[in-house]
Amino acid sequence: MAINADHLCAKLSHKREYFGLFLLCLLPVNLWELLVFFYRASSMRLIMNAWEIAGVIAYLFAFALVEALFVFVLLFIASLLLPERMIATRLIPIGAVLIILASLAVSLIHLHDPWDVKFITLKRWEMLCTGSALILTGAFIFWMQKNERVAGAIRAVAERLEVLAGFYLGLDLLGLGVVLVRNLL
């Protein structure tokens, strides 16, 4: 299967959809990092001053931006490899389902120790969460292919979340700027 230049240009012409997909990648990463930060904030308050905590927050936002870029690049490459008929009008809904289910799987894997899960080993917990996410992703994509209303509903929710994700993008860029200034000066 060869990808010619016209095919590649046609796929890359949807810049707004790709930017929306990037914004969707920001949401779960930022939310999770803020949850983890607030979970540990009380202990940080005991051993750090306000400026050090602000530095920790800046690093969190900077790394959230890097993580979101990594996830976006993977989704971008996947969108170039998938057939046009599959993602022509469903790039945002398919991307949103992949991002949300993968984020849930990773969050559940992360919670193995805090939840003190004893009935299953970490390796099997990872396999269970990853397998469940893959099965649910396939089911949602199949459902979206058969029912346009599902894809439309997911697209509508994703478009409404772009405002919040834009706010997180601003915080991530501010955090990246603080990290760069702290390390370059």
Distance CA 108, CA 127 (A): 11
User: Which residue type is seen at 154?
Assistant: I
Confidence bin at 86 (pLDDT 50/70/90): confident
DSSP conformation class of 116: T
Does the pLDDT of residue 167 top 80, yes or no?
yes
Average pLDDT over all residues of the chain = 87
pLDDT over 70 (residue 91): yes
- Give 119's DSSP letter: S
CB atoms within 10 A of CB 135: 11
Residue with tokens 């389902």: 97
Q: What is the pLDDT of residue 35?
A: 92
- CA 162 to chain centroid, in Å, comes to 13
Query: For 111-162, how does the pLDDT look when each residue is reduced to its tens digit (9 = 90+)?
Result: 877 767 778 888 888 899 999 999 999 998 888 888 889 888 989 999 999 9
Contact 126, 109 (CB under 8 A): yes
pLDDT of 78 above 90: no
Domain residues of the chain, as ranges?
A: 5-184
Q: Which amino acid, one-letter code, is at 49? A: N
In tens, the pLDDT along 54-72 reads: 999 999 999 999 999 999 9
